[in-house]
Amino acid sequence: MSETLMTTATVAGQATTHHEEHGHHQESFISKYIFSMDHKTIAKQFLITGIVWAIVGGLFSVLFRLQLGYPDRAFPILETFFGQWAKGGQIQPEFYYGLVTMHGTVLVFFVLTAGLSGTFANLLIPLQIGARDMASPFLNMLSYWFFFLASVVMMSSIFVNTGPASGGWTMYPPLSALKQAGDGQKIGTDLWLISMALFIVSSLLGGLNYISTILNMRTKGMSMTRMPLTIWAVFFTAILGVLSFPVLLSGAILLLFDRNLGTSFYLSDIVINGEVLPNEGGSAILYQHLFWFLGHPEVYIILLPAMGMVSEILSVNSRKPIFGYMAMLGSLFAIAVLAFLVWAHHMFVTGLNPFLGSVFVLLTLLIAVPSAIKVFNWLTTLWRGNIRFTPAALFAIGFVSLFISGGLTGIFLGNSTIDIHLHDTMFVVAHFHIVMGVASFFGMYAGVYHWFPKMFGRYLNNTMAYIHFWVTMVGAYLIYWPMHYQGLAGVPRRYLDKSGWVNFNNFRDLDQMITIVTILVFAAQLLFVFNFFYSIYKGRKVRSQNPWGANTLEWTTPVNPGHGNWEGDIPEVHRWPYDYGKDGREFIPQTEPVSANESKH
């Protein structure tokens, strides 16, 4: 396929604007680039939609950081753009909580779930296991378009008169169930729930497809234990999603019923603004169980693909096999299983039975063991390597650093005794942003930098990439490291102005510092976005079929693979994907038969 057609594929997200221009081959354009069934195009659609959402979500965080850093300062420009929501240039409380809620929802679900899994599962599964496409290309296409529909609904909720949902991304009832509780609890919350339902459908269609493709469509010789760790990671991710998202769906549907049909699943004993509601017998805590039964696996749905890609990228760039492949696989499995057994650690202080709490402490801290194994194995993979610091490799190293930092603070929060003090403070915010937010973003960036040549046949600009990495890396620590101290001081999260408090009002300088760094880091992400779109058209062309000297199958396809990926037969696999530096050879692709005098491992 020609270069130009491949690049057009990237603008499928903005289909309508390009529609007219390509009228002369309208039909093929639509089937190739809009309602495409090619997994590579769908991956790009997920990625670009994810980037758009990431800009929106990131911009929201800049806005509420302005409020946090400068609570008594007016920014007239905000009123220009947001009118009544920023009256007098100051962000109003309803607006603030709407921003926080949308920031969380968008980044957790639309960027780090759809944008991350959607992109790399779609791109890598067929390419790395040696399949021409997904098991069901049609379901795969539907998966993207349900996500697109969910995006449209969520985006529209930002523009309704009463504002978007503002009950926090966890959407706990009764707050989210009662329209009387505030403006954000009106139509905005209904739209949020509908959007989430559509999103869940999308993620289930995607997940089932990923699982069946991996199980059924591996090429000859590609046994399960010869799969790259990326594939194992997205495999476990898909299983987690398929088993846990339906539970969130039920939770969301019951909440819709409570809101609109007068049921009492979550409501009981409520007097709001002097009005006594008739509901009795519901349990507000039930929702939290349903939510976190998804919500905790969700953390790993976000993190596992990043772990998989980091493993692959560290191995390729240190020119060494990943250390302890089976242990890496075992720990992925252990994490996937334990992910289902720890949800109540989000609920230690809800009045949960203390005995139940103690069981969840045990199971939660158990997750630290497979996590530790992974960290040590990554370190050993670097040890005595010959490391190339490609932008992807730097982001992978950054991921490990952040995963360590954020993982260790998890040991504080997973311990219910300490959680009593730290629960719902800025410590939690710092913890999960480092370990789930920034770390996963680093994994995603590593993936984008590493597989961009496969996606678009061009390289990203290295200088911009290095600036992007270093600003983000330093910025992430500057933002979140000192934030832990706020949490240790007990400053609650979601407080938009602390000046009315005697004990929480002594962090003004810190809040300002964090706000300034946030703006700079956001600017660095825009630089990445620019680099991304610029390089699609103007980047240096990839001339070699295997630019990183990697073993996996995607680099045996043409530089710009067409639909079907391989021009001739699908290659046969003869070995695991990590034979780097073996027998004095820099790398041995998976397609090369094992020779008789090769050393065993």
Partner 1 sequence: MQTFFILAILVLVFVIILQISKASEYVSQIKGYEKARKQSNRINGFMLLGFLIFGLIGVYLCNEWLKGRILGEPASDHGELVDRMLYVTLAVTSVVFVCTQVALFWFAYKYQESDDRKAYYYPHNNRLELIWTVIPAITLTVLVGFGIFYWFKITGPAPKDAMVVEVVGKQFGWEFRYPGADGVLGKKYFKKVDAVNGNPAGQLWEDPANYDDVFVEQEMHLVVGKPVQLVIGAKDVIHDVGLVHFRMKMDAVPGTPTTMWFTPKYTTKEMKEKTGNKDFVYELSCDQMCGKGHWSMRGTIVVETQEEFDAWLASKKPQYLVANPDKDPNAKKDSASAALPMVSVVAQNKIN
Quick one: 152 or 526, whose CB is closer to partner 1?
526
Nearer CB in complex with partner 1: 247/394:
394
At its nearest, how many Å lie between partner 1 and the CB of residue 596?
A: 18
**Residues 6 or more apart in contact with residue 589 via CB below 8 angstroms:** 546, 551, 552, 555, 556
* Phi, psi of 402, deg, nearest 5: -70, -35
Nearer to partner 1, 59 or 375 (CB): 375
| Shortest distance, position 430 Cβ to partner 1, whole Å | 12
CB atoms within 10 A of CB 493: 16
Tell me the C-alpha distance between 276 and 195, whole Å: 30
Q: Which is nearer to partner 1, 13 or 174 (CB)?
A: 174
Nearer to partner 1, 136 or 268 (CB): 268
The closest of 92, 264, 245, 255 to 182, measured between CA atoms, is 92
- Judged by beta carbon, residue 12 or residue 397, the one nearer partner 1 is 397
What is the dihedral sign for C-alpha 454, 437, 177, 253? positive
Nearest-approach distance from CB 75 to partner 1, in angstroms: 7
CB of 158 to partner 1, least distance (A): 17
Closer residue to partner 1 in complex, CB, 14/80: 80
How far, in Å, CA of 10 to CA of 47, rounded?
Answer: 9
Of 136, 134, 116, 111, nearest to 40 (Cα)?
134
Separation between Cα atoms, residue 333 and residue 304, nearest integer Å: 10
CB of 558 to partner 1, least distance (A): 21
Q: How far apart are the first and last CA of the chain?
A: 40
Tokens at residue 516, please?
Answer: 């300034």
Supply the minimum distance, in Å, between the C-beta of residue 572 and partner 1: 22
Residue (174 or 589) nearer to partner 1, CB: 174
Sequence-distant (6+) residues with CB within 8 A of 278 are none
Matching residue, tokens 């370190």? 379
Least distance between partner 1 and beta carbon 536 (Å): 15
Q: Find out whether 116 and 309 touch, Cβ atoms under 8 Å.
A: no
State which residue, 142 or 588, has the beta carbon closest to partner 1.
Answer: 588
Minimum distance, C-beta of residue 577 to partner 1, in the bound complex (Å): 12
Residue 347 corresponds to which tokens in the numbers above? 């609920």
Residue 30 or 175 with smaller CB distance to partner 1:
175
Instruction: Give the span between the Cα atoms of 288 and 293, in whole angstroms.
Output: 8
Shortest separation between residue 102's beta carbon and partner 1, angstroms: 14
Provide φ and ψ at 114, rounded to 5°.
Answer: -70, -45
Cβ atoms of 469 and 398 within 8 Å: the answer is: yes
- Minimum CB distance to partner 1 smaller for 70 or for 340: 70
Residues 6+ apart with CB under 8 A from 205: 139, 140, 142, 143, 146
* Comparison of 211 and 521: residue with beta carbon closer to partner 1: 521
With 0-12 / 13-18 / 19 or more C-beta atoms within 10 angstroms meaning exposed / middle / buried, residue 136 is middle
Least distance in angstroms from the C-beta of 302 to partner 1: 21
Q: How far is the CB of 48 from partner 1 (least distance, A)?
A: 21
Dihedral sign, CA of 355, 361, 367, 372?
negative
Residue 464 and residue 452 in contact, taking contact as beta carbons nearer than 8 Å: no
What distance in Å separates the CA atoms of residue 468 and residue 445, rounded to the nearest whole number?
10
Q: What's the closest the beta carbon of residue 138 comes to partner 1, in angstroms?
A: 40
